């Protein structure tokens, strides 16, 4: 039995076919704001060159993992290198000259993809973000981090660090001689400083069962994580492309932030799930952890108050 506050998004059997009618296939004309069901290598050939402003490449890591009805098995380093090289090659055909590319990986996969990225793109940085979920191990350190490689197609590219500042609480709120806050601001929730974004992210919450963005996809990325990438490296109206769409997070966030999008997903189950999430989203809808044009740390007073308000409303029957 599902808990009363469980808001995991699922696709019921009686709505699956209807959702899949909205999903395109390889034989259909290529369009923007569209999910395509099929293999990304084949479908990428149908996307016109210089269409994409921002590529979010999140392929299966070189690990054994079951996705819907299929299982991706770990391969030899050379086999994975060949597969990734092909995925990257076909995706790069779609990019504009000033496009930005973010590539997701875990620590073993990172070692394989970095040389390939260096050969084909300008590699600018490696973001490491804390994935706080995960099981402990008796013979190794618990793995709670993943990488995102920040790359560009050329020397001209978009990057807006002021759009992705983090509002952190000030531990020592110094004031100048006139009594005004020194390098911090007074807010109703306390003393905060809007800090510049760095390449170590510890403020991201993995979706869990009481969050509407949560799904049963095994490697779902948080909306907050994707929002940082989209805000930092694209403008309103730009085209965001995710050729391994999964549960649809990148398309959902792109829509909420006023971007156009294209997604490809090989599993019909996830196509339907992604389409449902997209149907439920509107431009301007909230993103967990992002408010007033800044990102808030995990478990900040701001988020704690919002969680408490939501829990009270739920208990009073104000939320369905």
- Note down pLDDT in tens along the chain; length 320 residues: 566 678 899 999 999 999 999 999 988 888 999 999 999 999 999 999 999 999 999 999 998 888 877 888 889 999 999 999 999 999 999 999 999 999 999 999 999 999 999 999 999 999 999 988 767 778 999 889 999 999 999 999 999 999 999 998 887 777 777 777 777 777 776 788 889 999 999 999 888 888 889 988 888 999 999 999 999 999 999 999 999 999 999 999 999 999 999 999 999 999 999 999 999 999 999 999 999 999 998 876 554 445 444 444 444 443 33
Q: Is residue 280 part of a domain?
A: yes
User: Residue 35: which CATH number?
Assistant: 3.40.50.150
Q: Is residue 217 part of a domain?
A: yes
Q: Is residue 121 part of a domain?
A: yes
Q: Is residue 204 part of a domain?
A: yes
- The alpha carbons of the chain give a radius of gyration, in whole angstroms, of 20
Is residue 8 within 8 Å of 209, Cβ to Cβ? yes
Hey, what are 54's tokens? 């921002």
Give the dihedral of Cα atoms 284, 257, 262, 210; nearest 10 deg: -70
Domain count of the chain?
1
Q: Is residue 178 part of a domain?
A: no
Domain that holds residue 20: 13-164+199-284
């Amino acid at each position: 039995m599902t808990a009363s506050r469980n808001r995991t998004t699922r696709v019921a059997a009686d709505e699956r076919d209807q959702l899949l009618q909205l999903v395109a296939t390889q034989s259909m004309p290529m369009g923007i704001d569209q999910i395509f069901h099929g293999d990304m290598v084949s479908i990428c050939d149908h996307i016109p060159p210089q269409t994409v402003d921002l590529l979010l490449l999140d392929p299966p890591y070189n690990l054994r993992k079951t996705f819907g009805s299929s299982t991706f098995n770990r391969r030899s380093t050379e086999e994975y290198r060949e597969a990734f090289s092909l995925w990257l090659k076909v995706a790069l055909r779609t990019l504009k000259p000033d496009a930005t590319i973010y590539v997701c990986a875990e620590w073993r996969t990172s070692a394989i993809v970095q040389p390939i990225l260096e050969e084909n793109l300008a590699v600018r940085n490696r973001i490491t973000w804390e994935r706080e979920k995960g099981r402990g191990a008796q013979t190794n350190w618990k793995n709670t981090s993943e990488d995102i490689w920040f790359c560009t197609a050329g020397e001209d590219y978009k990057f807006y660090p002021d759009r992705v500042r983090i509002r952190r609480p000030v531990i020592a709120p110094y004031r100048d001689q006139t009594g005004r806050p020194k390098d911090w601001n007074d807010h109703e929730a306390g003393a905060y400083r809007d800090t510049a974004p760095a390449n170590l992210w510890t403020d991201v919450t993995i979706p869990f069962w009481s969050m509407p963005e949560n799904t049963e996809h095994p490697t779902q990325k948080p909306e907050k994580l994707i929002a940082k990438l989209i805000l930092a490296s694209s403008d309103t109206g730009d085209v965001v492309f995710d050729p391994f769409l999964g549960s649809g997070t990148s398309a959902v966030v792109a829509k909420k932030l006023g971007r156009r999008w294209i997604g490809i997903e090989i599993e019909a189950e996830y196509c339907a799930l992604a389409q449902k999430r997209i149907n439920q989203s509107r431009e301007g809808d909230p993103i967990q952890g992002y408010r007033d044009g800044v990102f808030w740390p995990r478990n900040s007073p701001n988020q704690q108050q919002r969680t408490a308000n939501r829990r009270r409303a739920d208990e009073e029957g104000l939320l369905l």
